[in-house]
Amino acid sequence: MKKMKNIMFASIYAGLSILLFSCNKDMLIPAESVKDLSGSWKIVSLVRNNQDDMTSRIDLTKFRLIFNEDNTYSFQDSMAFIVSDPGSYSTDDPQYPFNLTLEPRNSTEQNKLEFGFPIVNGKRQINLSISPGCSKNTYKYVFEKEQ
C-alpha cells in the first residue's frame, strides 16, 4: 500500500515538473504582433471638422488606399487627401504604431499623420486625421480593409 502511495506521489511530481519546466515565458505572455497594413483599404466614415458627417454626402465608394508589403502605397481613384502621388510609407513603431508617414515618390516631403489601428466589430480599421486644405479644417477618415 505504501509503495503504491509513493508511486502515485512520484507520478504527480513528475507530471507537474514536466508542465512547469516545459513552459517558457514566451508561451505564457504572447508578444504583441507586428501591425500589418498591407492590403486595400476603403473609406467607411469621413467627418469634417468634428461635426459634418460627409460619409453619405460625397461618393467615397471608388477611392482605395493601398499599402503594399514592400512599404509602398498607392491610390485607386482620388480623394481630398494629404498626398495625391504614390510613394513609400512607414510607421513609428512596428508593434505599437501611433504615427504614419507618407512620402510621395519624387518628393522629399514627409507627411506625418496621427494614426489609429483599432479593431471595431471584429474588423481592423485605420483612423487618420488630416488637413488637406486649410490647417484648421480637419477630416477624420476611417478605413476598413477590403476582404
Which positions touch other proteins (CB under 8 A)? 48-52, 54, 57-58, 78-80, 84, 132-137, 139
Taking residue 2's Cβ as centre, other Cβ atoms within 10 Å add up to 6
State the first-to-last Cα distance of the chain, in angstroms, to the nearest integer. 64
Residue closer to other proteins by CB (options 52, 92) is 52
d(CA 113, CA 147) in angstroms, rounded, equals 25
Query: In whole angstroms, how close is the CB of 137 to other proteins at the nearest point?
Result: 5
Query: In whole angstroms, how close is the CB of 85 to other proteins at the nearest point?
Result: 9
Residue closer to other proteins by CB (options 48, 145) is 48
Query: In whole angstroms, how close is the CB of 136 to other proteins at the nearest point?
Result: 5
Backbone dihedral angles phi then psi of residue 80, each to the nearest 5 degrees? -65, 100
Residue closer to other proteins by CB (options 94, 118) is 118
**CA-closest candidate to residue 72, choices 35, 101, 108, 43:** 101
